[in-house]
Chains A and B, each alone.
Chain A
Amino acid sequence: MKTWERPLLLAAATAMAAMALLSACKKDDDPAPEDRFDRTALLSDVAHRVIVPAYDALALSADSLRDAAQAFAAAPDDAALQALRTRWNAARERWAACEMFRFAFQYEQSINDQIASWPINATVIEGEIGGSGPIDEAYITSTGTTRKGFSAVEYLLYTAPDDPAAVVAAFTTGAHADRRATYLVSLCTHIAARTRALAQAWDTDGQNYASTFISNTQSDISGSLNLLVNAWVEHIEYTRRMKVEIPHGIENGGTPLPDAVEDRRSHRSLANIRAGIRQWKAILSCGDGTGIDDNLDAVDARYEGSALSGRIRAQLDACTAACDAITVPLDEAVLSQPEAVDALYLAIKRLTVLTKLDMASSLGVIITFSDNDGD
């Protein structure tokens, strides 16, 4: 052995030993607090400032939707319909703010499908109403997803979008008016029950999923930060494709598809996209709490020289502005304002790159649900 070999080897071994020792050191030797980012604080603020309030608000608005549906069914008239539509608009918007919380857990997935499947099948719904089978909440729970949920209610309330009298008539003098009203109430009761279940799953008095979410601080793909970022990116991509890209005709050679616009009967599509964007901003900043932006700043994530958190915030504002620039409902806009729709599409696409690449990379998050080995 050469004379220099032993010292070098000893140095390497000492370095390793030192690191092992460091790891066993006491708390008061911890690095300065500003060097550290508290992931528990992030998850806690996301859970308690964003997710739980969003589910609570959803459940409340679904309750009032059910109440309004019962009132309308008891005495269908223009005013009651208007009140009911307003409640539906509000509840649907609250759902748009919860839509992104898909953390790949079984119960969330199934509830999402139960209340938010889209598009619905109007022919089948009319068949049910015109049939003779029992209609109640139990039946709605057991039936297929294309005949229930928010979109099914929307269909019943906006069958003739611009002719409320015709809608009221369908519930008063139309064929099977009673069954139509029962169907409507059953749908809304079902939505109220399912959204309540979601809220309870997260509530401290219920299954307390919030505390599971907060304590799940590990950094592999089953850790909460990974689930959160993946769910967020997934929802951005879903919004871009299903709500804008397809109706805009991007996938089919440029022919707009107004019928493919979500919530086109109620003309609430843009409002619901906006509600989703608001929730993306909430996840980023968590009000004045610890948000994803603080995590990005803690790792000094930068994009073209400036802070990545600020760049993402600006892009979220650009998405909102692009929504605002569309002055007619989206199903009309894809025909009459294609440039504005294109701008919205490009804004969300830009946001996709910033979140899926820059943000996920900076946080050390893998954008995938597979847990295969890597190197």
Chain B
Amino acid sequence: MVRALLRGRSGIAPLVVFRIAFGTLMTAGLVRFWAKGWIEALYVKPAFFFSYYGFDWVKPLGSAGMHAVFAVLIACTVCIAAGLFHRVAAIGFFTLFTYVELIDRTNYLNHYYFISLAALLLCVLPAHRAFSLDVRLRRVRPAEQVPTVLVRTVQLQLALVYFFAGIAKINADWLLEAQPLRTWLHARADLPLLGPWLQAPWAAYLFSWCGMLFDTTIAFFLFPRRTAAMAYATAFVFHALTAVLFPGIGMFPFIMMACAVVFLPEAWLRRVLLRLGWKPASAPAEVRVGPALRVLLPAYFAVQVLLPMRYLLYPGRLFYNEEGYRFSWRVMLMEKAGTVFFTLRDPATGQRFGVTNSDYLTRQQEQQMSTQPDMILQFAHHLKAVNAWRVPDAEVYAEAYVGVNGHGSRLFIDPQVDLARQRDGLGEKTWVYDR
């Protein structure tokens, strides 16, 4: 069966369309990011950055440096779309984009993670072997057919996103209380036409259940050839609706709409490329799956399947401790707000020093930190370090409140625990009230 999977051949069009759609969308996304001043706001202005566990060596490069990084990123996306120096551009884009994302977990978004993964896949896919400048300039030999498994790779990655996003929605808040959609839809009552309906409780239930059913099942309709087109149309409507209802999620719906085209019938995509001016080669080259990929792709997908399930290893409620929350396609899953009052205590004198978080963090950082225990811990260590001049060897205590899905604010970190003495790590955070 493995052999059959590797031997199977299909047209290259889905990969080419995926490359062009992804590259174009990334160019637009990065230009938008720049134009909105977010490079400055997110990577230059903050005095402190919330690095990921194990990645505290990743640092920003200052204003000129970060703008240069984004300039190179944009150049890479243009090259990816045009199929020019594809391999270099894809590797460059993956490396720099992932670097930017690793600087500060304040900015973690599931679709940024998806972009990193898609870019990683593009590094190894022969998506530039047709309708590309690399072919036109004879840098690579053109191809017509590719191993089916490579098309399946992109499709499977997308399928996992949908599936795990759906599984995550199978929880009491989402299904039984229609939260957080009840809150969010109510807030969208200003929308023309749709608005008044969104305030009705049944609307929240309808959207919650439809959303869960759509996410968990859509992949099973996208794969079969006969249902693919209709499933894509459904997905398109679904994402368009989320884009209208929740403009705050930014590029996400558009990325999914663009990338899911890889599920459309190959013949259709081929026709699109031909209409765009693609001249298939007279003597196409054979593309094979190299020995390295035969090992790496299964390993990659094993990680992709296991990572979203790692939360099962942690006791307590996920929405509070968020242990295993990231990198798991938990998209628009909860309304969570928090506020934390930190106090430094001088063990020698017993004096207590209240802290105002905004003296150290941007608003965005403070907002994200306030709800996520690992960031609260990291900030506590930072507070101890930068206040060492006035409070030597300080103990750091957090009076942290959080509200999840309209359940009311509650204390969620043990206020008696000296966070300065707690180490960050992958283990359970025993000082989080998550029962």
Q: Which residues of A contact B (CB under 8 A)?
A: 1, 5-6, 8-9, 12-13, 15-16, 19-20, 22-25, 30-31, 35-37, 39, 217-220, 223, 241, 245, 250-254, 298-299, 301-304, 349, 352-354, 356-358, 360-375
Contacts and interface: CB of A to CB of B under 8 A. Distances in A.
* Residue from A302, A303, A304, A361 whose CB has the most chain B CB atoms within 10 Å: A361
Contacts of B75: none
Contacts of A363: 187
Contacts of B107: 372
Given A251-B356, A364-B184, A35 B199 contact: yes
A16 B237 contact: yes
Contacts of B363: 368-370
B277 interface: no
Contact of B227 (A5, A35, A217, A354): A5
Contacts, number: 163
B352 interface: yes
Interface string B213-226: 11001001100101
Nearest to A251: B354
A373 B247 CA distance: 8
7 contacts: A9-B230, A16-B237, A31-B196, A250-B354, A298-B199, A365-B187, A370-B364
Nearest to B330: A375
Contacts of A5: 220-221, 224, 227
A12 B341 contact: no
Interface string B197-241: 101110000100010011001001100101100110110011001
B402 interface: yes
B409 interface: yes
B248 interface: yes
Interface in B237-287: 237-238, 241, 247-252
Contacts of B196: 30-31, 36
A9 B234 CA distance: 9
Given A16-B238, A223-B190, A370-B41, A251 B355 contact: yes
A189 B355 CA distance: 39
Contact of A375 (B111, B213, B351): B111
B324 interface: no
A373 to B, nearest CB: 3
B124 interface: no
A361 B249 contact: no
B252 A375 contact: yes
* Residue from B331, B338, B406 whose CB has the most chain A CB atoms within 10 Å: B406
A373 B251 CA distance: 8
Contacts of A374: 109, 248-250
B401 interface: yes
Given A9-B221, A357-B402, A370-B363, A23 B210 contact: no
B188 A1 contact: no
A9 B189 contact: no
Contact of B199 (A24, A31, A370): A31
A223 B191 CA distance: 12
Nearest to A252: B353
B38 interface: yes
Contacts of B194: 22-23
* Residue from B42, B109, B248, B346 whose CB has the most chain A CB atoms within 10 Å: B248
B435 interface: no
A36 B353 contact: no
A358 B407 CA distance: 9
A13 B234 contact: yes
Given A36-B196, A363-B187, A375 B364 contact: no
Contacts of A358: 403, 408-409
B91 interface: no
Contact of B352 (A217, A254, A371, A372): A254
A365 B335 CA distance: 10
B332 interface: yes
A38 B406 CA distance: 21
Contact of A357 (B206, B214, B339): B339
B337 A367 contact: yes
Given A220-B248, A254-B351, A371-B36, A36 B199 contact: yes
A364 B183 contact: yes
B41 A357 contact: no
B50 to A, nearest CB: 14
Contacts of B332: 375
Sort A-B residue pairs by CB-CB distance and give the 4 closest, nearest first. A364-B187, A373-B250, A253-B351, A250-B354
Contacts of A23: 193-194, 197
A303 to B, nearest CB: 5
A251 B355 CA distance: 6
B362 interface: yes
B186 interface: yes
A367 B363 CA distance: 9
Contacts of B356: 241, 251
B367 A368 contact: yes
Contacts of A1: 224, 226-227
B352 A375 contact: no
* Residue from B194, B338, B409 whose CB has the most chain A CB atoms within 10 Å: B409
